[in-house]
Amino acid sequence: MEQELLPWTEKYRPKSLSEVLGQDETVKSLKAFVKSGNMPNMLFSGPPGIGKTTATLALAHDLYGDRIEGNLLELNASDERGIGIVRGKIKDFARSVSVGGGVPFKLIFLDEADALTPDAQHALRRTMEMYSPVTRFILSCNYSSKIIEPVQSRCAVFRFLPLRESQVHQMIKTIAEKEGLEVEKGAEEAISYVSEGDMRKAINALQGAAIHSNTITEEVIYKISSRARPKEIREMVDAAYGGRFLDARKMLLELSTQYGLSGSDIILQIYRETANLEIPEKKKVQLVDRIGEYDFRLVEGANEHIQIEALLAQIMLLGMKREE
């Protein structure tokens, strides 16, 4: 019963490194560490939802088996960012004795380590050195540049990449079979589009759609993910570029109402569709420059609706200018 109530991201999380999709070179190295029974401290860097936590938990399962409970400490640095977490929980766990069968060290997994303050990172550096005989650290972060150099130099750094479309499709098909779902071809493509290589996002989209029906359609995926169809975004931009500003403005209003899109969502989708627009390359360069400007304005707190309409106006002006 408990398994039924789990989010699908947890229910279908790989239990072993051999089940992990993608990150082939990293997984190969981790398997070698398990085989040798030894490993360095590690830093996993990359966008969210691409397997950093999954790889860590799978590694721990392969190392400790059923004895994982007392050998893995999992912490999220976003919850406790200060030096206290290093001097408290991490130090207490690091100095205790390993209970793993045949594995002489314990694992401390520090998720979102880039949220730690610089002082906490400096304290962590010293702790990593002091307890290296009995403890290994795995740090996970979105941006390795936010981890101080002394900590990075004490770790083997692994870069995690967004998952390929084929890997996302493979996972979706596996879950659909086990849950008795029928996923239409268009829905598969929609899940790939909204997830952008983020497996967590892809599985959440599938589970959200499955609440509505056992038949997963493209329309439902875009609605629950608050994303417009790429075609609709292109039509809006084409209308603006072609001089039909009022039509583009009307399409913008419909997209905002139908999908509940924020200004940032719309700008991101316009940016993603820029490469697919049938306009000269020079105009695409100018359009990307404009998109960057209006994205910055939104970040600074400008009115979303006014700024997106102003961007459409800029696109129209680009279309009106003759090629030099």
User: Residues 90, 124: contact at Cβ < 8 Å?
Assistant: yes
Tally of domains within the chain? 3
Residues 10 and 130 in one domain: yes
CATH number at residue 77: 3.40.50.300
User: Residues 218, 187: contact at Cβ < 8 Å?
Assistant: yes
Residues 211 and 247 in one domain: no
Of 175, 194, 224, the position where a domain reaches its end is 224
Query: Stretch 137-142: mean pLDDT, rounded?
Result: 92
* Amino acid letter, residue 129: E
Residues 202 and 239 in one domain: no
Residues 9 and 139 in one domain: yes
Domain range for residue 64? Answer: 2-159
Of 188, 209, 224, the position where a domain reaches its end is 224
Residues 169 and 306 in one domain: no
Residues 80 and 184 in one domain: no
Q: How confident is the model over 264-276, as pLDDT tens digits?
A: 999 999 999 998 8
CA distance 254 to 230: 14
Residues 14 and 94 in one domain: yes
3-state DSSP call for residue 69?
A: coil
Q: What is the mean pLDDT of the chain?
A: 88
The pLDDT assigned to 241 comes to 93
The pLDDT assigned to 80 comes to 64
Query: Stretch 285-306: mean pLDDT, rounded?
Result: 94
pLDDT band at 1 (very low <50, low <70, confident <90, very high): very low
Q: What percent of the chain has pLDDT over 70?
A: 93
Residues 197 and 235 in one domain: no
The pLDDT assigned to 104 comes to 82
Residues 82 and 102 in one domain: yes
The pLDDT assigned to 324 comes to 46
CA distance 289 to 172: 36
Q: How confident is the model over 46-65, as pLDDT tens digits?
A: 999 999 999 999 999 998 88
Which DSSP helix (H) or strand (E) runs through 45?
strand 42-45
The pLDDT assigned to 5 comes to 67
Residue 69 — left, alpha, or beta (φ > 0 → left; ψ -120 to 50 → alpha)?
Answer: alpha
Q: What is the CA radius of gyration of the chain?
A: 24
Residues 315 and 246 in one domain: yes
pLDDT at 66 over 90: no
User: What's the gap between Cα 166 and its chain centre?
Assistant: 17
Residues 138 and 191 in one domain: no
Of 159, 180, 204, the position where a domain reaches its end is 159
The reported pTM is 0.83
pLDDT at 142 over 70: yes
